[in-house]
Amino acid sequence: MSKYYPVIGLEIHCQLATKTKMFCGCEIEVNTSPNKHVCPVCLGFPGAMPVPNKKAVEFAIRLGLALHCEIDLNAMWTRKNYFYPDLPKGYQITQTGGLPIYDHPICSKGWLEIKRSDGVVRRIGITRIHMEEDAGKLVHDMSPTGSHFDANRCGTPLCEIVTEPDIRSPEEAVLTFKKIKQILEYTGVSHANMENGNIRCDGNISIRPSEDAPYGTRAEIKNLNSFTNLEKALTAELLLQTVTLDAGREVQQSTKRYDPNADKTIVIRSKEDAPDYKYFPEPDMVRLVTDPSVVEEIRRTLPELPDARFARFLQEYKLTEYDAQVLTDEIHVSNWFDSAAKTCKNPKMLANWVITELLCEVKELEGGFDAVKVRPEQLSALVNLIEDGTINGKIAKQVFAEMFASGKDPEVIVKEKGLVQITDTGAIEKTVREVVEKNAAQFAEFKAGKVALKGFFVGQVMKSSGGKANPKIVNQILDKLAQE
């Protein structure tokens, strides 16, 4: 265990799920031809005037309310000035500034809660949420002599969520990132797809000798696009800073990247401060004035959020905390289960089927959850067949495999394959007696007290009946015969 105390803050950048760009009407489209969706505004032509995207503003407010933020009804736009080949304007329109007078983001002073693996619940502060526009994209692998520029991404609306330095371990950082991604998905503010670059995270970390000591010199690790890389990068930087201080050297403020192959952080550049960007109010735009009634309407129409759904699953469906957590982690899984549970006689059994059968199959499915052929009401019907005694659990797995492959209703599969469970006590007893006669020596041991053999006999009866005998009745008959 390190003798130093980590102090961590996150900056999470997410692409908003709008149809058009932040300050113009250009369409947002992925996987299209380069420079297809551009105009004088997003290319920064002189005289082209930006106009804020109303939907993007509403999304930012919705996110802020979901994270318990205060909404600034008189927010400000600023220019962040820097030169890079992917930024044709030479500046970025944002909502952060070097001086407090310019610093009026649309959302601030929020919080979220995380639950650690040891059961401790911690509240993490949200410093701010501000809107900004994305830069373009440089393509380096099309020519051996130079890079190409695609401006389609220029002006794409982004939100940056900045946490307070309240995070005290890489584990807490991952939990915070996961919770924010969850909220983005539940609110519909962002697709939050890491593989498509909809969301990424920068981690700021420093260490100090005690919990009440002043903050140390921090390093910022850029563009961490997975939970694993975030945890590994922070862990590697924590070790590096510990070794540096133990050797009597000072930690240098810097911007870094994480190399997963070497499992270490690498300096990109010395850290810039706000004056380097020469922030000033955006001269082409007035303040972003929002009517309080707009905020209240967005608040009224907020969807059910992850924590509320988790609590409802516990109460309404009587799930375990583990099952409720798994089933609320991702919005599409959560919605799917919730829909199925509405018509299911045993939601706890349904949860087990979703977690142990459906999600395991999805891992191997090309196209992921979107390619699943089984509809929620079909899995609900399968569980109801088990609950009614129409089929047993073993047969149900065969039926599910067919459902997953074909998308057929479970009732149809059971009828086509003749899989209805045998519940006729007389017929089952006849089969049990036949099995006992064939295995007389083992049955004598079972009667003498070797209870482990009961499973053997149940298995033999199920085999003889093609898996259709009711296991409960089989067990009852075996117990009866053992007493004769």
In this predicted model, what pLDDT tens digit does every residue of 246-266 receive, in sequence order?
A: 999 999 999 999 999 999 999
Q: Write down the pLDDT at residue 479.
A: 86
**Mean pLDDT in residue range 447-460:** 85
Which amino acid is it at 314?
L
Question: Residues of the chain with pLDDT > 90: what percent?
Answer: 74
At 124, which helix (H) or strand (E)?
strand 121-133
Q: Write down the pLDDT at residue 274.
A: 58
**Which residue spans within 211-325 are E strands per DSSP?**
219-224, 254-259, 264-270, 280-281, 288-289
Pairing mode, if any, of strands 219-224 and 254-259?
A: parallel
**Mean pLDDT in residue range 421-432:** 81
Q: Write down the pLDDT at residue 272.
A: 61
Which amino acid is it at 86?
D
The CATH number of the structural domain formed by 425-483 is 1.10.10.410
Residue pLDDT, tens place only, 347-382:
999 999 999 999 999 988 888 888 999 999 999 999
Contact 133, 157 (CB under 8 A): yes
Report which of 361, 373, 370, 380 is spatially closest to residue 317, judged by C-alpha positions.
380
Rounded to an integer, what distance in angstroms lies between the CA atom of residue 42 and that of residue 49? Answer: 10
Average pLDDT for the chain: 93
Q: Write down the pLDDT at residue 365.
A: 87
How is 56-67 classified by DSSP, letter by letter?
HHHHHHHHHHHT
**Mean pLDDT in residue range 37-44:** 96
Q: Write down the pLDDT at residue 271.
A: 64
Threshold 0.75, pTM exceeds? yes
| pLDDT interval class at 318 (50, 70, 90) | very high
Nearby residues of 57 by Cβ (< 8 Å), 6 or more positions away: 106, 131, 288, 290
Judged against a pLDDT cut of 70, whether residue 397 lies above it is answered with yes
Q: Write down the pLDDT at residue 110.
A: 99
**Mean pLDDT in residue range 88-116:** 92
Token pair in block for residue 327: 């089933």
Q: Write down the pLDDT at residue 1.
A: 53
SS3 78: strand
Token pair in block for residue 167: 């995070």
- Helix 425-438 / helix 471-483 crossing angle, nearest 10 deg: 60
Cα separations (Å) of 368 from 106, 189, 339, 359, 408?
Answer: 36, 22, 19, 9, 19
Report which of 91, 93, 95, 85 is spatially closest to residue 139, judged by C-alpha positions.
85
Cα separations (Å) of 6 from 14, 59, 84, 150, 208?
Answer: 25, 33, 33, 40, 7
Rounded to an integer, what distance in angstroms lies between the CA atom of residue 206 and that of residue 258? Answer: 16
Question: In the chain, what are the domain boundaries?
Answer: 5-298, 304-417, 425-483
Q: How many CA atoms lie within 13 A of 90 on its CB side?
A: 3
Token pair in block for residue 473: 């009745």
Q: How many helices (H) and strands (E) does the chain have?
A: 16, 16
Judged against a pLDDT cut of 80, whether residue 275 lies above it is answered with no
